[in-house]
Amino acid sequence: MPDATRYVPPDGDLDDLREAARGCHGCDLYRHATQTVFGEGPADAQVVLVGEQPGDQEDREGHPFVGPAGRLLDRALAEAGIDRDAVYVTNAVKHFKFVERGKRRIHAQPGRTEIVACAPWFEAEMRIVRPRLVVCLGSIAAKAILGQSFRVTAQRGKLISTEEYEVIATVHPSAVLRAPDRTEAYSAFVEDLRAARSMFPTGLPGTGG
Ligand code: URA
Ligand code: SF4
Protein backbone atom coordinates (compact mmCIF):
# COMPACT_ATOMS: atom_id res chain seq x y z
CA MET A 1 0.00 0.00 0.00
CA PRO A 2 1.49 3.38 -0.97
CA ASP A 3 1.87 5.96 1.75
CA ALA A 4 3.50 9.33 2.40
CA THR A 5 6.89 7.91 3.41
CA ARG A 6 8.73 8.65 0.19
CA TYR A 7 7.58 12.28 0.22
CA VAL A 8 8.79 12.98 3.77
CA PRO A 9 12.25 14.61 3.80
CA PRO A 10 14.73 12.69 6.00
CA ASP A 11 15.70 15.87 7.80
CA GLY A 12 14.94 19.58 7.92
CA ASP A 13 12.57 21.78 9.90
CA LEU A 14 8.80 22.24 9.89
CA ASP A 15 8.96 24.58 6.91
CA ASP A 16 10.81 21.92 4.92
CA LEU A 17 8.15 19.36 5.85
CA ARG A 18 5.33 21.75 4.96
CA GLU A 19 6.92 22.50 1.61
CA ALA A 20 7.43 18.81 0.80
CA ALA A 21 3.88 17.94 1.86
CA ARG A 22 2.52 20.22 -0.86
CA GLY A 23 3.57 17.62 -3.39
CA CYS A 24 2.43 14.53 -1.50
CA HIS A 25 0.67 11.85 -3.55
CA GLY A 26 0.76 9.28 -0.76
CA CYS A 27 -2.93 8.52 -1.23
CA ASP A 28 -5.64 9.68 -3.63
CA LEU A 29 -6.96 12.58 -1.58
CA TYR A 30 -4.66 15.13 -3.24
CA ARG A 31 -6.55 14.64 -6.51
CA HIS A 32 -9.71 16.51 -5.56
CA ALA A 33 -8.62 18.73 -2.68
CA THR A 34 -7.37 22.28 -3.27
CA GLN A 35 -4.14 21.95 -1.32
CA THR A 36 -2.32 20.18 1.51
CA VAL A 37 -3.22 21.67 4.89
CA PHE A 38 -0.17 21.14 7.07
CA GLY A 39 0.23 21.66 10.81
CA GLU A 40 1.00 25.12 12.20
CA GLY A 41 2.47 26.46 15.40
CA PRO A 42 5.76 26.79 17.27
CA ALA A 43 8.38 24.09 16.65
CA ASP A 44 9.05 23.98 20.40
CA ALA A 45 5.38 23.71 21.45
CA GLN A 46 4.80 21.51 24.52
CA VAL A 47 1.27 20.72 23.41
CA VAL A 48 0.05 19.43 20.05
CA LEU A 49 -3.62 19.39 19.04
CA VAL A 50 -4.53 16.89 16.35
CA GLY A 51 -7.82 16.88 14.45
CA GLU A 52 -9.16 14.60 11.75
CA GLN A 53 -8.67 16.33 8.41
CA PRO A 54 -9.12 19.84 7.02
CA GLY A 55 -12.69 20.92 6.32
CA ASP A 56 -14.08 22.93 3.42
CA GLN A 57 -12.77 26.28 4.64
CA GLU A 58 -9.39 24.89 5.71
CA ASP A 59 -9.01 23.36 2.24
CA ARG A 60 -9.64 26.74 0.58
CA GLU A 61 -7.46 28.76 2.96
CA GLY A 62 -4.67 26.26 3.53
CA HIS A 63 -4.66 26.51 7.34
CA PRO A 64 -5.90 24.05 10.00
CA PHE A 65 -8.99 24.78 12.10
CA VAL A 66 -9.99 28.13 10.60
CA GLY A 67 -13.64 27.22 9.88
CA PRO A 68 -16.64 26.82 12.23
CA ALA A 69 -15.01 23.98 14.21
CA GLY A 70 -11.87 26.06 14.53
CA ARG A 71 -13.79 29.02 15.92
CA LEU A 72 -15.38 26.81 18.56
CA LEU A 73 -11.97 25.33 19.33
CA ASP A 74 -10.44 28.80 19.77
CA ARG A 75 -13.16 29.80 22.21
CA ALA A 76 -12.83 26.56 24.22
CA LEU A 77 -9.03 26.82 24.34
CA ALA A 78 -9.25 30.38 25.66
CA GLU A 79 -11.74 29.29 28.29
CA ALA A 80 -9.45 26.45 29.36
CA GLY A 81 -6.51 28.85 29.67
CA ILE A 82 -4.62 27.57 26.63
CA ASP A 83 -3.17 30.12 24.20
CA ARG A 84 -3.65 28.78 20.67
CA ASP A 85 -0.45 30.53 19.60
CA ALA A 86 1.49 28.40 22.08
CA VAL A 87 0.30 25.06 20.69
CA TYR A 88 1.00 23.21 17.47
CA VAL A 89 -2.22 22.43 15.59
CA THR A 90 -2.41 19.71 12.96
CA ASN A 91 -4.57 16.91 11.52
CA ALA A 92 -4.22 13.14 11.18
CA VAL A 93 -5.01 13.45 7.45
CA LYS A 94 -3.77 16.49 5.57
CA HIS A 95 -6.11 16.67 2.61
CA PHE A 96 -9.86 17.37 2.63
CA LYS A 97 -12.02 14.37 1.74
CA PHE A 98 -15.52 15.23 0.56
CA VAL A 99 -18.46 14.31 -1.60
CA GLU A 100 -20.12 16.88 -3.85
CA ARG A 101 -23.80 17.66 -3.37
CA GLY A 102 -24.63 20.24 -5.97
CA LYS A 103 -22.42 23.20 -5.18
CA ARG A 104 -21.64 22.05 -1.66
CA ARG A 105 -18.73 19.91 -0.60
CA ILE A 106 -19.74 17.61 2.25
CA HIS A 107 -17.12 16.19 4.63
CA ALA A 108 -16.47 12.47 4.12
CA GLN A 109 -14.78 10.41 6.79
CA PRO A 110 -11.23 9.37 5.89
CA GLY A 111 -10.76 5.61 5.60
CA ARG A 112 -8.14 3.41 7.19
CA THR A 113 -6.04 3.53 4.00
CA GLU A 114 -5.83 7.33 4.03
CA ILE A 115 -5.21 7.56 7.76
CA VAL A 116 -2.35 5.05 7.57
CA ALA A 117 -0.99 6.65 4.37
CA CYS A 118 -0.81 10.08 5.99
CA ALA A 119 0.67 8.98 9.34
CA PRO A 120 4.31 9.53 8.28
CA TRP A 121 3.62 13.28 8.16
CA PHE A 122 2.34 13.35 11.71
CA GLU A 123 5.27 11.22 12.86
CA ALA A 124 7.68 13.62 11.18
CA GLU A 125 5.96 16.61 12.80
CA MET A 126 6.28 14.93 16.21
CA ARG A 127 9.98 14.16 15.69
CA ILE A 128 10.58 17.89 15.31
CA VAL A 129 8.13 19.33 17.84
CA ARG A 130 8.68 16.65 20.51
CA PRO A 131 5.66 17.70 22.59
CA ARG A 132 4.98 16.60 26.13
CA LEU A 133 1.28 16.25 25.43
CA VAL A 134 -0.82 15.41 22.37
CA VAL A 135 -4.53 16.26 22.55
CA CYS A 136 -6.59 14.15 20.13
CA LEU A 137 -9.72 15.91 18.89
CA GLY A 138 -12.18 13.15 18.05
CA SER A 139 -11.98 9.43 17.46
CA ILE A 140 -10.23 9.50 14.07
CA ALA A 141 -7.25 11.29 15.63
CA ALA A 142 -7.38 9.17 18.79
CA LYS A 143 -7.46 5.88 16.89
CA ALA A 144 -4.71 7.06 14.54
CA ILE A 145 -2.46 7.67 17.54
CA LEU A 146 -3.63 5.20 20.19
CA GLY A 147 -4.83 2.33 18.02
CA GLN A 148 -8.09 1.07 16.57
CA SER A 149 -9.49 -0.25 19.84
CA PHE A 150 -9.37 3.14 21.56
CA ARG A 151 -12.78 4.52 22.55
CA VAL A 152 -13.06 8.27 23.16
CA THR A 153 -16.41 7.86 24.91
CA ALA A 154 -14.86 5.55 27.53
CA GLN A 155 -11.55 7.33 28.01
CA ARG A 156 -11.99 10.99 27.21
CA GLY A 157 -10.12 13.48 29.39
CA LYS A 158 -7.82 10.80 30.84
CA LEU A 159 -4.06 10.96 30.62
CA ILE A 160 -2.55 8.10 28.61
CA SER A 161 1.23 7.57 28.40
CA THR A 162 3.01 6.49 25.25
CA GLU A 163 6.75 6.18 24.70
CA GLU A 164 7.00 9.61 23.10
CA TYR A 165 4.40 11.76 24.87
CA GLU A 166 1.31 11.84 27.05
CA VAL A 167 -2.03 11.78 25.25
CA ILE A 168 -5.47 13.11 26.16
CA ALA A 169 -8.37 12.37 23.86
CA THR A 170 -11.56 14.37 23.67
CA VAL A 171 -14.41 14.85 21.22
CA HIS A 172 -14.10 16.71 17.95
CA PRO A 173 -15.26 20.35 18.04
CA SER A 174 -17.60 19.54 15.11
CA ALA A 175 -19.30 16.98 17.34
CA VAL A 176 -19.90 19.75 19.88
CA LEU A 177 -21.50 21.86 17.12
CA ARG A 178 -23.79 18.95 16.19
CA ALA A 179 -24.62 17.81 19.74
CA PRO A 180 -28.31 17.83 20.76
CA ASP A 181 -27.34 19.57 23.99
CA ARG A 182 -24.68 21.93 22.76
CA THR A 183 -24.15 23.72 26.07
CA GLU A 184 -23.46 20.50 27.91
CA ALA A 185 -21.22 19.14 25.12
CA TYR A 186 -19.28 22.39 25.07
CA SER A 187 -18.72 22.36 28.87
CA ALA A 188 -17.49 18.78 28.74
CA PHE A 189 -15.13 19.69 25.90
CA VAL A 190 -13.71 22.64 27.88
CA GLU A 191 -13.36 20.35 30.90
CA ASP A 192 -11.16 17.94 28.88
CA LEU A 193 -9.04 20.86 27.68
CA ARG A 194 -8.68 22.01 31.30
CA ALA A 195 -7.39 18.53 32.15
CA ALA A 196 -4.78 19.02 29.42
CA ARG A 197 -3.93 22.48 30.75
CA SER A 198 -3.50 21.13 34.28
CA MET A 199 -0.46 19.15 33.13
CA PHE A 200 1.31 22.51 33.04
CA PRO A 201 0.78 24.05 36.47
CA THR A 202 3.28 26.84 35.81
CA GLY A 203 1.77 27.65 32.44
CA LEU A 204 2.57 27.01 28.80
CA PRO A 205 5.24 29.12 27.09
CA GLY A 206 3.37 31.89 25.33
CA THR A 207 0.49 31.99 27.79
CA GLY A 208 2.15 34.69 29.82
CA GLY A 209 1.97 32.65 32.99
N1 URA B 1 -11.79 19.64 11.40
C2 URA B 1 -10.61 19.06 11.61
O3 URA B 1 -10.50 17.95 12.10
N4 URA B 1 -9.52 19.74 11.28
C5 URA B 1 -9.56 20.96 10.75
O6 URA B 1 -8.49 21.50 10.48
C7 URA B 1 -10.83 21.56 10.56
C8 URA B 1 -11.93 20.88 10.89
FE1 SF4 C 1 -0.39 12.72 1.19
FE2 SF4 C 1 -1.82 12.74 3.43
FE3 SF4 C 1 -2.62 14.15 1.33
FE4 SF4 C 1 -2.81 11.51 1.26
S5 SF4 C 1 -3.93 12.91 2.65
S6 SF4 C 1 -2.00 12.83 -0.38
S7 SF4 C 1 -0.96 10.91 2.40
S8 SF4 C 1 -0.75 14.50 2.52
Examine residue 11 and state whether it is found in any structural domain, yes or no.
yes
Give ligand 2 pocket residues (Cβ under 6 A): 4, 21, 24-27, 29-30, 36, 93-95, 114, 117-118, 121
- Write out the chain's pLDDT in tens, 209 residues: 789 999 999 999 999 999 999 999 999 999 999 999 999 999 999 999 999 999 999 999 999 999 999 999 999 999 999 999 999 999 999 999 999 999 999 999 999 999 999 999 999 999 999 999 999 999 999 999 999 999 999 999 999 999 999 999 999 999 999 999 999 999 999 999 999 999 999 888 765 44
Examine residue 202 and state whether it is found in any structural domain, yes or no.
no
E strands, the chain, are 47-51, 88-91, 98-101, 104-107, 133-137, 159-161, 166-170
Overall pTM > 0.85: yes
- The rounded distance, in Å, linking the Cα atoms of 30 and 111 is 14
Per residue in 84-143, pLDDT (tens digit) is: 999 999 999 999 999 999 999 999 999 999 999 999 999 999 999 999 999 999 999 999
DSSP 8-state secondary structure symbol assigned to residue 100:
E
Examine residue 208 and state whether it is found in any structural domain, yes or no.
no
Examine residue 207 and state whether it is found in any structural domain, yes or no.
no
Examine residue 41 and state whether it is found in any structural domain, yes or no.
yes
- Number of domains, the chain: 1
> Residue 49: CB within 6 Å of ligand 1?
no
Examine residue 136 and state whether it is found in any structural domain, yes or no.
yes
Examine residue 206 and state whether it is found in any structural domain, yes or no.
no
Examine residue 62 and state whether it is found in any structural domain, yes or no.
yes
CATH number assigned to the domain comprising residue 142: 3.40.470.10
Sheet hosting strand 166-170, strand order edge to edge: 88-91, 47-51, 133-137, 166-170, 159-161
Domain span holding position 193: 5-197
Task: Say what the pLDDT of residue 206 is.
Answer: 62
